Structure 1
Amino acid sequence: MEPIVELKNVTKTIRGRKIIDDLSFGVMPGEVFGFLGPNGAGKTTTIRMIVGLIRMSGGDITICGKDVKKEFEEAIRHVGAIVENPEMYKFLTGYQNLQQVARLTTGIGKEKIDEVVELVGLTERIHDKVKTYSLGMRQRLGIAQSLLHDPKVLILDEPTNGLDPAGIREIRDYLRSLAKEKNLAVIVSSHLLSEMEMMCDRIAIIQKGKLIDMQMVKEEESIQKHKYVCTIDQPQKAIKLLEKKDYLIQAQPGGFEVTLGKEQVPEVINFLVHHDLLIYEMKKQSVSLEDRFLEITNQKVVKANA
């Protein structure tokens, strides 16, 4: 598969200061792609360049194979986006707001509006005035506006800002189902690590305008490796036995820590039992996105200062 959105060596300089520095990545159809970084890292600036709100200083951005600089209209027709906050007329109903957006593009009729309303789950409230909507409902209406012209890319800048936990979960679940059902490429920016971990398939970590790491979030469990802590009666004997079999292992009080794939866990347990060792516990150590993010960014800072 070819990426629907692709950035190649993109830079942005403002008043002599490089805001975005040689940024390159691609986003695939059906993928929820997270753009993660602290406030001021350059997330919104990058999104503004993708949708053509500001010009890039260097590099190339293509959407469905169309160059944003040279073929802007052809490229941008494939994009639905909410940059920062969805804008709408609060004195009109949700349906009337969608009618106003539909007027901007030919071929969008009542049938299409009804389809999108049902897709975002606003059927029961679509004829109420927007001023009566909760923040989560306004976010869903904003997504509906972005989907009216059947885009291949949906870009959302901080979509869960200001939402309560129920609203956050609602938007998160909706975006994941939308990517699968419509085979959309969904790009989401945020500084909320826990939400990105639950929402995204893949995450680009950006710091000071630079892409510093790319993380797979939804890897297959069978190929994913985790750290396991084993409590055992003879730790030193167990460590020596496992080191001979080339396992990545580290001593712990009363046991050891070992890095294993899911299918290796029963192998290790059987191996140790076969050598007459008593295993009291084998516990998987979960490494959160937050831990990985802090580890990666701290490593970069140490290298930069070295």
Structure 2
Amino acid sequence: MKTVVELKNVTKKIGKRTIIDDLSINIVEGEVFGLLGPNGAGKTTTIRMVVGLIGITSGEISICGKNVKSEFEQAISKVGAIVENPELYKFLTGYQNLMQVARLTKGITKEKINEVIELVGLKDRIHDKVKTYSLGMRQRLGIAQSLLHDPKVLILDEPTNGLDPAGIREVRDYLRSLAKEKGLAVIVSSHLLSEMEMMCDRIAIIQQGKLIDVQGVRTSETSDKRMYSVQVNDVEKAQQILIKNGFAVQQKNTNLELELQHEQVPKIIKLLVDKNLLIYEVKMIQKSLEDRFLEITSAGEVKKHA
């Protein structure tokens, strides 16, 4: 996949304080990439540097191969962004708001405006005044504004802030379909773990301006080893059989836990059944993003104080 946004050793200092510390990230087309961290971690600062709202102390940011610092206009022409909240004229209609934005950029036709309206699902309400819109509809109109010039990258800072559950789902589903159908790289920041888990393909965990880890949220179950829990009638006998056949097995309460590739699961089932063991359950142990986030950030705190 093609890399569209690249941060290399990016650092931001204000006075003697380091806000972002040697951050390196690659973001590819067609993915929803999340910046996750507690409030004050540096998510918004990172986004502001990517879109050129604040300068970089050191390092390099490129968008579609263009350097944000030295080739700003060419780089930023590939970006659509909403930093914090979309700015809208509430006394105008949704369509009039889009027309105001279209006047600022050459080459945006009425056909393009109508295409974007259809894309964000506002066709039935686009001629109503924005003051009558729900928060979810305003967010979608803001996204429509960001898409008018056909960007390769869409950047949204806390896109679900202030939305009710229906609005959150609406924006989340829309962003996922946008990445898939238009091949956009969508970058979102948030501190809401559950939302990021459902929305993103990969997540960069940032703590105190440092990149702690990059987590794949939607990895293929067949590609990597995963932890499985096995419930049998005779735990000790099953453990001995599996160890004898080269599996690393741990006993957890009345179950066995072991790391397996997807295709190994039926093999261990057959192995145990052939030894006359009764198998009640085999299930994959999947840690939530919350578990992984707390593990990773706790480890970061331990290293910092060590």
TM-score normalised to structure 1 length: 0.97
Q: Structure 2: which 5+ runs fail to align?
A: none
Q: Name the aligned partner's letter for residue 150 of structure 2.
A: D
Matches of 2:205 and 2:255 in 1, distance apart?
35
Equivalence map 1:51-62=2 (5 Å) = 51-62=51-62
- Indicate yes or no: 2:187 matched with 1:202: no
Q: Which residue of 1 aligns with 2:189?
A: 189
Q: Which residue of 1 aligns with 2:213?
A: 213
**How far 1:80 sits from its partner (Å)?**
0.1
Q: Which residue of 1 aligns with 2:117?
A: 117
Q: Which residue of 2 aligns with 1:86?
A: 86
Secondary structure, in 3 states, of the residue corresponding to 1:263?
helix
Q: Alpha-carbon deviations, 1:100-159, whole Å to 9, x = none? A: 000000111211110000000000000000000000000000000000000000000000
Q: Which residue of 1 aligns with 2:229?
A: 229
Q: Alpha-carbon deviations, 1:201-231, whole Å to 9, x = none? A: 1111100000010111111121243322222
**How far 1:276 sits from its partner (Å)?**
1.5
Q: Alpha-carbon deviations, 1:234-282, whole Å to 9, x = none? A: 2112112212333232112223112223222211111111111111222
Matches of 1:68 and 1:283 in 2, distance apart?
47
Q: Which residue of 2 aligns with 1:29?
A: 29
Matches of 1:245 and 1:10 in 2, distance apart?
48
Equivalence map 1:263-278=2 (5 Å) = 263-278=263-278
Secondary structure, in 3 states, of the residue corresponding to 2:3?
coil
Paired-residue identity, %: 70
How many residues are paired up?
Answer: 306
Matches of 2:89 and 2:23 in 1, distance apart?
36
Matches of 1:163 and 1:262 in 2, distance apart?
38
Secondary structure, in 3 states, of the residue corresponding to 1:142?
helix
Q: Which residue of 2 aligns with 1:178?
A: 178
Matches of 2:186 and 2:248 in 1, distance apart?
37
Range moving further from structure 2, 215-224 or 145-154: 215-224
Matches of 2:81 and 2:244 in 1, distance apart?
55
Q: Name the aligned partner's letter for residue 235 of structure 2.
A: P
Paired residues of 1:234 and 1:255 also in contact (CA < 8 A): no
Paired residues of 1:160 and 1:171 also in contact (CA < 8 A): yes
- Indicate yes or no: 2:262 matched with 1:253: no
- Indicate yes or no: 2:188 matched with 1:152: no
Matches of 1:179 and 1:275 in 2, distance apart?
49
Matches of 1:270 and 1:181 in 2, distance apart?
42
TM-score normalised to structure 2 length: 0.97
Matches of 2:154 and 2:284 in 1, distance apart?
36
**How far 1:82 sits from its partner (Å)?**
0.2
Q: Alpha-carbon deviations, 1:24-67, whole Å to 9, x = none? A: 01110111111111110000000000000000101000011111
Matches of 1:268 and 1:305 in 2, distance apart?
43
Secondary structure, in 3 states, of the residue corresponding to 1:21?
strand
Q: Structure 1: which 5+ runs fail to align?
A: none
Matches of 2:194 and 2:254 in 1, distance apart?
32
Paired residues of 1:204 and 1:211 also in contact (CA < 8 A): yes
Matches of 2:283 and 2:184 in 1, distance apart?
38
Q: Name the aligned partner's letter for residue 65 of structure 2.
A: G
Q: Name the aligned partner's letter for residue 66 of structure 1.
A: K
Matches of 2:117 and 2:18 in 1, distance apart?
41
Matches of 1:272 and 1:167 in 2, distance apart?
48
Matches of 1:260 and 1:198 in 2, distance apart?
25
Q: Alpha-carbon deviations, 1:64-99, whole Å to 9, x = none? A: 111111010010000000000000100000000000
- Indicate yes or no: 2:256 matched with 1:294: no
